Amino acid sequence: MTSTAKPDAATGTLRGGPRRRRVRAGGGRGAPLPLLVPALIGLAFLVVPLVALLVRAPWRSMPEQLTSAEVWQALRLSLICATAATAVSLVIGVPLAWLLARVEFRGRGLVRALVTLPLVLPPVVGGVALLTSLGRNGIVGKWLDSWFGVTLPFTTAGVVVAEAFVAMPFLVISVEGTLRAADPRYEEAATTLGASRFTAFRRVTLPLIAPGIAAGAVLAWARALGEFGATITFAGNFPGRTQTMPLAVYLALQSDPEAAIALSLVLLAVSIAVLAGLRDRWMTAG
């Protein structure tokens, strides 16, 4: 929710500023300076780098950059993987959030800390952790390989795993917060009507916290879309299979900064479009 709300709040300050001042003028003064100044600095801090990208974008060679098959391949892969990672996060992250919010058990604080760990872990370290666990020679991956013949590194599934690892905590934290704020007595009401705890969750809690889940999913999706470190470490870099946009941007930066900027703008445009679209559809309720 925060990530989508931020840019909006920012533009809101720009657009809504004069209007708000007019409203406040009746009651007193506008925003106090000690708040207004840092707020505007903060806004500039977030917006100026993006503006710089636009200013320095190689507009002339843009059409050429954007029609290259590699760009579309990377973009398509990015969108597919981020969406799949979000789906994975939803399927296992929402129940995890429910467990953390609703079930009292020993060591819950510890579990919560573990869940949020990927938030602070450098993504590259996350990638190495995934290699040592789910890699071909990893402690779990070894069995995946010998039992099912499944190896994740260097595959598109590996990209999804890496992105989900990094993005899921955002979803879990967001959904857990929503669950904590939601009245647990609705679940109780459902059980007195004969619903099992799972039915109560599915038919009552889930619809009630849908806005929170949507917000968490958007956060996770955005994080997955921009994921670089864990992806390149765990899934490697191969065009069409594991080379997502951020990887393409990074490698383009090595030799062709203009191409890198062009790629970044494409990613930026697509994410803004998707986030804005989702916001209109989902976020109004939340």
Quick note: the x/- pattern for other proteins over 89-128, rule CB under 8 A, is: ---------------------------------------x
Name which of 67 and 192 has its Cβ closer to other proteins: 192
Q: Which of 243, 111, 227 is nearest to 162 (CA)?
A: 227
Q: In terms of C-beta density within 10 A (0-12 exposed, 13-18 middle, 19 or more buried), how is residue 256 classed?
A: middle
Q: Which of 68, 251, 59 is nearest to 76 (CA)?
A: 68
The piece of 3-11, 108-116, 159-167, 228-236 that touches other proteins (CB under 8 A) is: 228-236
Name which of 8 and 183 has its Cβ closer to other proteins: 183
Q: Which of 156, 134, 274, 264 is nearest to 214 (CA)?
A: 274
Name which of 16 and 240 has its Cβ closer to other proteins: 240
Q: Which residues, at least 6 apart from 259, have a Cβ–Cβ distance to it below 8 Å? A: 58, 65, 252
Q: Given the structure tokens 């100026």, which residue do they identify? A: 48
Q: Which of 140, 238, 240, 269 is the binder for other proteins (CB under 8 A)?
A: 238
Name which of 37 and 189 has its Cβ closer to other proteins: 189
Single-letter amino acid, residue 177: G
Closest CB 70 distance from other proteins, rounded Å: 12
Quick note: the x/- pattern for other proteins over 176-215, rule CB under 8 A, is: -------x-xx-xxxxxxxxxx-x---xx--xx-------
**H/E/C letters for each residue in 52-76?**
HHHHHCCCCCHHHHHCCHHHHHHHH
Closest CB 116 distance from other proteins, rounded Å: 26
Name which of 123 and 153 has its Cβ closer to other proteins: 153
Name which of 153 and 169 has its Cβ closer to other proteins: 153
Size of the site for other proteins (CB under 8 A): 45
At 114, is the secondary structure helix, strand, or coil? Answer: helix
Single-letter amino acid, residue 195: A
Q: Which of 12, 18, 42, 257 is the binder for other proteins (CB under 8 A)?
A: 257
Number of H helices, E strands in the chain: 15, 0
Residues 29-58 close enough to bind other proteins by CB under 8 A: 56
What's the rounded Cα separation, in Å, for the pair 263 and 274?
17
Q: Which residues, at least 6 apart from 134, have a Cβ–Cβ distance to it below 8 Å? A: 140, 141, 144, 152, 153, 161, 234
Closest CB 28 distance from other proteins, rounded Å: 34
How is 73-87 classified by DSSP, letter by letter?
A: HHHHHHHHHHHHHHH
Closest CB 100 distance from other proteins, rounded Å: 21
Closest CB 2 distance from other proteins, rounded Å: 24
Q: Which residues, at least 6 apart from 109, have a Cβ–Cβ distance to it below 8 Å? A: none
Is residue 251 part of the contact set for other proteins (CB under 8 A)?
Answer: yes
What's the rounded Cα separation, in Å, for the pair 206 and 220?
18
Q: Which of 71, 94, 115, 131 is the binder for other proteins (CB under 8 A)?
A: 131
Which residues are near other proteins by CB under 8 A?
Answer: 56, 128, 131-132, 135-137, 153-154, 183, 185-186, 188-197, 199, 203-204, 207-208, 232-233, 235-239, 242-243, 247, 250-255, 257-258
